[in-house]
Amino acid sequence: MPSITLAQALTQAQAEGLGRIDAQMLLLHVLGRAPTDRAWLLAHDGDTLPAAAMEQYAALCARRAKGEPVAYLLGRKEFWGLPLSVDARVLDPRPDTETLVAWALEVLATRAAPRVADLGTGSGAIALALQHERPDAQVLAVDASADALAVARANAGQLGLPVRFIQGNWLHGVDGSFDAIVSNPPYIAAQDPHLAALTHEPLSALASGADGLEDIRTIVAQAPARLAPGGWLLLEHGWDQAEAVQALLRDAGFDQVQSRHDLAGIARCSGGSMPGGAPQ
């Protein structure tokens, strides 16, 4: 292969259909540079791409062109400012989910040493973000997948955060009482055409029954018995599910039922509190 410059490498990837930022991330990765080094890339775009890096870059671009998330190709994703290791065993953490973290921090702000459960933790993103922000919290992270828990535990170890992990189905077998239960469960309808674009991520983290609400129904049914008076259940859900999730929460006896918008302005999370807490 003839040698090419960094600028040519980026142009070639874009010709294969890659987004410019994706191509930049992959190029920085094969050059052993940080994802924050995009300015360096621009300043050095006349440099020659070394042969070994070129081969690796071409392979990564081919995988990206087939839809593999950049996070898996880099083995890394930043969530809430925390560097997480991620791979195909867990959902690629989305920035939208930071909405859920921000809301949880808000409802926990007035509680000292809060007890928090993150259901379906995946990479551990939500649990680790909450533990990072609230060192006084007791955070329990649950996942049905042993593979996911291995990824989450490794992230907790890397970050030195004392989250507790257990394997289980939602709250089944979980004891104790929590000030907040949070979850980004699977919520895509089993027949949703969007699933076709997400084949690289675990289906068990994405799809949930005919209407996408099966797991949310289970969590809403289980949560009241595990929440302290005034404790909150906060759920991420699909772009068109806010009304349905709010109705489920009201039917289960939750107060203050409301939704929060994600960065794209979509009502992405809904939640409510158990009766009996101090008003906030």
Placement of tokens 């797991």 in the chain: 215
- Taking residues 210 to 249 in sequence order and writing x for each that binds ligand GLN by CB under 6 A, - otherwise, the string is ----------------------------------------
Task: Give yes or no for a contact between 130 and 137, defined as CB atoms under 8 angstroms apart.
Answer: yes
Residue with smaller CB distance to ligand GLN, 54 or 262: 262
Residue 122 assigned as binding residue: yes
Question: Residue 141: in which H helix or E strand, if any?
Answer: strand 138-143
Q: Is the dihedral of CA 105, 110, 111, 112 positive or negative?
A: positive
Min dist CB 182 to ligand GLN, Å, is 12
Residue 72 assigned as binding residue: no
| Total chain residues near ligand GLN (CB under 6 A) | 8
Min dist CB 94 to ligand GLN, Å, is 5
DSSP assigned state of 124: S
Residue with smaller CB distance to ligand GLN, 177 or 194: 194
Burial class of residue 74 (count of CB atoms within 10 Å of its CB; 0-12, 13-18, 19+): middle
Residue with smaller CB distance to ligand GLN, 91 or 116: 91
What is d(CA 99, CA 133) in angstroms, rounded to the nearest whole number?
Answer: 14
Binding test (CB under 6 A) with ligand GLN, winner from 125, 137, 174, 206: 206
Stretch that binds ligand GLN, among 58-66, 139-147, 180-188, 253-261 (CB under 6 A): 180-188
170 lies in the binding site for ligand GLN (CB under 6 A): no
Binding test (CB under 6 A) with ligand GLN, winner from 186, 231, 271, 277: 186
Nearest Cα residue to 185 out of 207, 167, 165: 207
Min dist CB 113 to ligand GLN, Å, is 29
Residue 143 assigned as binding residue: yes
Binding test (CB under 6 A) with ligand GLN, winner from 188, 227, 267, 274: 188
Min dist CB 79 to ligand GLN, Å, is 13
Residue with smaller CB distance to ligand GLN, 193 or 279: 193
Q: Is the dihedral of CA 120, 124, 125, 129 positive or negative?
A: positive
What is d(CA 91, CA 184) in angstroms, rounded to the nearest whole number?
Answer: 10
The three-class DSSP label of residue 97 is helix
Geometric angle at alpha carbon 151, from 148 and 155, rounded to 5°: 140
Two tokens at 253? 């006896």
Placement of tokens 């996942």 in the chain: 143
Residue 185 assigned as binding residue: yes
Binding test (CB under 6 A) with ligand GLN, winner from 72, 79, 178, 187: 187
For the packed helices 51-65 and 20-30, what is the interaxial angle rounded to 10 degrees? Answer: 140
184 lies in the binding site for ligand GLN (CB under 6 A): yes
DSSP assigned state of 49: P
Task: Give yes or no for a contact between 36 and 78, defined as CB atoms under 8 angstroms apart.
Answer: no
79 lies in the binding site for ligand GLN (CB under 6 A): no
What are the two backbone dihedrals, phi and then psi, of residue 242, each rounded to the nearest 5 degrees? -55, -45
Interface positions, 85-114, toward ligand GLN (CB under 6 A): 91, 94
Binding site for S-adenosyl-L-methionine: which residues? 120-124, 143, 170, 184
| Residues engaged in binding ligand GLN (CB under 6 A) | 91, 94, 184, 186-188, 198, 206
Binding site: which residues? 120-124, 143, 170, 184-187
